[in-house]
Amino acid sequence: MSDAATYTPPKVWNWHKPSGGRFANINRPVSGATHERELPVGRHKLQLYSLATPNGVKVTIMLEELLAAGHEGAEYDAWLVRINEGDQFGSGFVAVNPNSKIPALMDRSGDAPVRVFESGAILLYLAEKFGAFLPTETALRAECLSWLFWQMGSAPYLGGGFGHFYAYAPTKIEYAIDRFAMEAKRQLDVLDRRLAQTEYLAGPDYTLADIAVWPWYGGLVSGLLYEAGEFLQVQDYKNVQRWTKAILDRPAVQRGRKVNRISGELSSQLHERHDAADFDTRTQDKLEAGG
């Protein structure tokens, strides 16, 4: 590990040593599959390959919301992808997402399967497929999509920037933490001002914009993400706090958060989801018993 204060980049960057840090074992400078492995396929038309990170949870919340709204075609199988073990580099996964990141969706309802990757694209695909959580009126739709794309562009500064340097990097670098803490707080202020004007991000109704933004920024202001609540003084963002609590009260959100979760309290984990009944207590009991 180079000393951050004295490091001079060489003329040509080379991948010659592990960088350290929490995800060092899966980071590499090339793409593509590292091993052959087919993906499992369940009985539903929608096959989701994911993990309950903020990006993964967006999609399981969306699917549970669609089901709660009566869209039976949104029934899905959710398969666990353990990214720390390199499952995202299996040939089957790479065929669904050449970028090797969860979440990835395969829609098998038509003659030929349709692959969708990137969580924002998946939310939009599902919203259009079922005609839900995306306003049809021009201005509201534009506002909704603007917040969706805001999330896709902003969260990497929160996760890959602030979260990485504050929580995961092997050394604490003041310059990097300052830079990204500033940006994280700026983003929270953007949301806070918007949510002072309207109940939800796109306007009066809960939409896919809220589903996209909540797992990241709701997690942050709850003090859960990166355990950075005190550091960023998240209690000050009162409107984001109000919105976060309202969304967490939704039963579909509570279900969606559990799917493909492998950490935290056992009662909050549902490693795979193939049926609505999988959320039953009996399933949880089985999990707690190690089944």
Amino acid at 81: V
In the list 26, 33, 167, 181, the residue contacting ligand GSH (rule: CB under 6 A) is 26
Three-state secondary-structure class, residue 105: strand
119 binds ligand GSH (CB under 6 A): yes
**C-beta of 103 vs 161, nearer to ligand GSH:** 103
Looking at the chain, which runs of residues are DSSP E strands? 46-50, 76-80, 104-107, 114-117
**C-beta of 124 vs 134, nearer to ligand GSH:** 124
**C-beta of 202 vs 213, nearer to ligand GSH:** 213
22 binds ligand GSH (CB under 6 A): no
Amino acid at 154: S
CA angle 124, 136, 58 (to 5 degrees): 30
Q: Residues with Cβ < 8 Å from 17, sequence gap 6 or more?
A: none
Q: What 8-state DSSP symbol labels residue 70?
A: T
**C-beta of 53 vs 260, nearer to ligand GSH:** 53
Stretch that binds ligand GSH, among 63-71, 96-104, 219-227, 260-268 (CB under 6 A): 96-104
100 binds ligand GSH (CB under 6 A): yes
Phi, psi of 131 (to 5 degrees): 60, 50
CB 64 within 8 Å of CB 10: no
User: Using a CB cutoff of 8 Å and minimum separation of 24, what contacts does 229-235 make?
Assistant: 231/166, 231/181, 232/181, 232/184, 232/185, 232/188, 234/188
User: Site residues for ligand GSH, window 43-62 (CB under 6 A)?
Assistant: 53, 55
For the CB of residue 115, give the shortest distance to ligand GSH in the complex, in Å: 13
101 binds ligand GSH (CB under 6 A): yes
For the CB of residue 79, give the shortest distance to ligand GSH in the complex, in Å: 14
**C-beta of 42 vs 56, nearer to ligand GSH:** 56
* Cα–Cα dist 80/285, whole Å: 19
**C-beta of 49 vs 243, nearer to ligand GSH:** 49
In the list 47, 60, 88, 244, the residue contacting ligand GSH (rule: CB under 6 A) is 88
Per CB under 6 A, residues contacting ligand GSH are 26, 53, 55, 83, 88, 100-103, 118-120
